Structure formats: C-alpha cells, structure tokens
Structure 1
Amino acid sequence: MADTRKGEGYHIVLVPFTAHGHIIPFLALARQIRERTNLTITIATTPLNIQYLHSAISSSPHNNIHLAELPFNSNLNGLPSNIENIEKLPLPHITKLFHASKSLGTPLRSLLSKITQQEGHPPLCIISDVFLGWVSNVVKVLE
C-alpha cells in the first residue's frame, strides 16, 4: 500500500506555459518536490520544449521526474512552423500561442487518463501555469 505521508505511489503533473521563463521555474519546482517526497512527477509540454528540458534533467531512472509530450502542430494553430514557445515567436503571434495552447487539452486529458489507469487512481494534483486556465476544465473530468 502507498505511504501517503511521503507521497510514495502518487503522482503530480506539472503543466507549464510554453516559455522558457515559465518552464525553468516549473522544473525547479519539480526538483524541490522530488527532493522532499517520493512522489512521481511528470512535466507535460510540447515536443520542442521537451527537447529543451531533456538536457536539464538527470538521466538517472530513479529521479522520478518524467517528461510527457503533448502533441502540438504550430501550423494548424496559425503559428509559424516549428514554433512551440514564446522565445522564437514574432511579437504579433503571441496571442495566437495563448489561444493555441487550448489544443493541448485533449492530449493532456489522455495523459491524465493513462496515469489514472496505470496507477489505479488519478494524479494527486495537477499544477498548471496561470496562463493555462483551460487546464481546470480538463481536470474536472477526473473528479
């Protein structure tokens, strides 16, 4: 049986906004939580942002910080090709990225369902960026 006091057997999912200035603090938060608990932590973001995070995460299989890709097609969302964060985005397209982030809802719902099926219960919590208000609607499905 899982020890809820230490978090063993439980999962936290972090969903940062797609900007390095948001992703880096979410990674720092994941590391702080991991240092203090036995929780499994997953950071869910777009494929290009996952590539960015790979270099920052230890390759140790015991670190329990995982990365989950949420498929994102910038072209389908009216953005330039291969743009998944603000760093390379022309200023006039920033609002498009905010609106396009809603397309991550279905893949996030699938990820949360997969975690729930694998672990027998939903994640302990989902921490999302303030700019991703739509995440609360995705999470309501788990309740």
Structure 2
Amino acid sequence: MAALKHVAGEFYFRAWFDDETGKVEIDEYGLRSIIKGRAYFTVKAPFTWGKRSTKHGDFGWLPNIPAWARSAEGVGGVYIKVYAKTKVQALRAAIAEKRRYRKGCTLPDVFAECDAAITAFQARLKRTPK
C-alpha cells in the first residue's frame, strides 16, 4: 500500500473492533490540523459536526468537543496509517495493524483476541462494497 499523505481539512475513516459486542465499527474522522509533526483528528458525529448557525449551508465543527472524541497521532508514526480515505482501505489497515500487534505479542490470550478481530475485519471487508 502506498504511503498516504494526510491533508488538514479532509475526512478519513478508521476501523476498530469492539471487544464487548464483537462487531467492527468504522468511524469518520476529520483531520483538523497538523502542528509540529502531530496530526489532530476529531471524530465526525452529531455532537462534533453539525449546523453552526441559521445561515444556509453553515455546517462545520461545533464548539466544546469532548477530549475523548479527539486524537493526536505522530505524522511519521505507525498509528496514523489506520486513518484511510475509504472504508475498504481502513479495514485493510486495521487488519495489518492487528497482524503487526499479534506478531509482537507473546501472550496466548492476546493471540486469540487478535485472531477474533482479524476474522471480524475480514468478514466485514467481504461485505463492504468496493
């Protein structure tokens, strides 16, 4: 996969596995800014993105975004690769990340968790339209 150049102001997808429900979730994130080698993402949800005023078409980021809805990733780091332009790319990146994490672990119960997540990601990838 080619290196993805992240651009402030664009939206990206991130896939993650919910251990409690056993489901794969895909969230949309907006890249708010890149400052001093850190990329600042905010999840796009009804409480973070919406109508800002009564003007026609005035949509954007709402004030008072909670800290748990924001994330900061190093631009040259490993974890920024999980943010992708399409849902399919996000699922593939999540599979690669779980495989990389599984390879570095030595605990058998972590292997089982990673295998379950990888299986769920692959099943979702088959159902996702290209």
Question: TM-score normalized by structure 2?
Answer: 0.28
The higher-RCO structure (CA 8 Å, 6+ apart) is: 1
Of Structure 1 and Structure 2, which has the larger fraction of its residues in helix? 1
Larger Rg: 2
TM-score by length of 1: 0.26
